[in-house]
Amino acid sequence: MPPAENPSPPSPSAAKPRLSRELVLAAALRLVDEEGLDALTMRRLGQALGRDPMGLYRYAENRAALLDGVTELVFEELEVFPETADWQLHLRRIAHSLREVALRHPNVVPLLVTRPLSTPLGLRPRGTLRPLERILSQLVGAGFAPSDALHVYRAYYGYLYGHILNELQEFVVDPEESEVLLRLGLHQLPAREFPHIRNLADVLVDYDGKAELDQGLTILLSGLAARLSPQEPAPAS
């Protein structure tokens, strides 16, 4: 009996999916998640996709466009909540959604914070503007004057990004450095120089990012509500 013939291998074109902007940006995001922002170059992305890097310029004209696209892609992961009469609850939900997105993509967080600032507001990708539009709509609908709604948005996102960056710094870099060793290190600080840090050693080590976010939001939102109270809706005629 003649030996069975080996099936011919699939052609390269059949093995690779057709390129699209969505596919290229998804690959770029995976690359950043796995290797960091510095790894994101056209050449490295072409290697990850098994394609000629020159062919990628059809979908992103340069590295800056790639960065914008990755930022927009991550913002699209934010959960969209329906507007509610309780604007503070609405902002809390958005905050926790952004925190969860950031923890999924910690290497992208510096990009989320700095990338929009490098582009004039009107020229930014629309996906990066949608959170602003949604929050302004919620706040104006709750009775805030448009300019006050913008003040709330800026203070809110300033706090939120600061919290996320701080929470990411709380992660222990060395997995073998246990909480016991961290506490021991804090207690070994000179008492005269660092009395408060030594007294708070247990609290500093036992960090709960979600609880800290909620506590900070309570302080921020109650203060904003006191300073910039929503206007009472006009009575129906």
- One DSSP character per residue, 109-131 reads HHHHHHGGGGS-GGGS-HHHHHH
Please check whether residues 94 and 66 belong to one and the same domain: no
Output the domain CATH number for residue 66. Answer: 1.10.10.60
Task: Based on the fold, state whether residues 121 and 95 are members of the same structural domain.
Answer: yes
Between 114 and 116, the higher pLDDT residue: 114
Residue 37 has pLDDT above 70, yes or no: yes
Please check whether residues 171 and 103 belong to one and the same domain: yes
Whether residue 150 is found in the same domain as residue 70 = no
**Of residues 228 and 60, which shows the higher confidence score?**
60
Residue at 142 is within a domain: yes
Query: Is 13 a member of any domain?
Result: no
Shared domain for 41 and 118, answered yes or no, is no
pLDDT value of position 184:
64
Residue 139 in tokens: 């706040």
Quick one: 158 and 107 in the same domain? Answer: yes
- 110 plus 197 within the same structural domain: yes
Place of tokens 């710094």: 169
| pLDDT above 80: residue 11 | no
Q: Looking at the structure, tell me whether residues 92 and 138 fall in a common domain.
A: yes
Last residue of a domain, one of 53, 75, 97: 75
Question: How many structural domains is the chain composed of?
Answer: 2
Verify that 215 and 113 share a domain, yes or no.
Answer: yes
| Together in a domain, 46 and 130 | no
Average pLDDT estimate for 137-160: 92
- Domain CATH code at residue 214: 1.10.357.10
Same domain membership, residue 138 and residue 53: no
pLDDT in tens, 164-222: 998 888 664 555 555 655 666 777 788 888 888 778 777 776 778 899 999 999 999 99
- The label of the residue with tokens 């203070």 reads 155
Of 2-11, 123-132, 139-148, 207-216, which gets the smallest average pLDDT? Answer: 2-11
Average pLDDT over residues 224-231: 76
pLDDT of residue 57: 93
In contact, 67 and 115? CB cutoff 8 Å: yes
155 belongs to a structural domain: yes
**Domain, as residue range, for 191:** 87-227
Q: Examine residue 166 and state whether it is found in any structural domain, yes or no.
A: yes
Mean pLDDT across the chain? 83
| Rounded (5°) CA angle 160-161-167 | 90
With a cut of 70, say whether residue 92 has pLDDT above it.
Answer: yes
In this structure, are residues 2 and 40 in contact, taking their beta carbons and an 8 Å threshold? no
pLDDT score at 126: 81
pTM for the complete prediction?
0.78
In a domain, 154, yes or no: yes
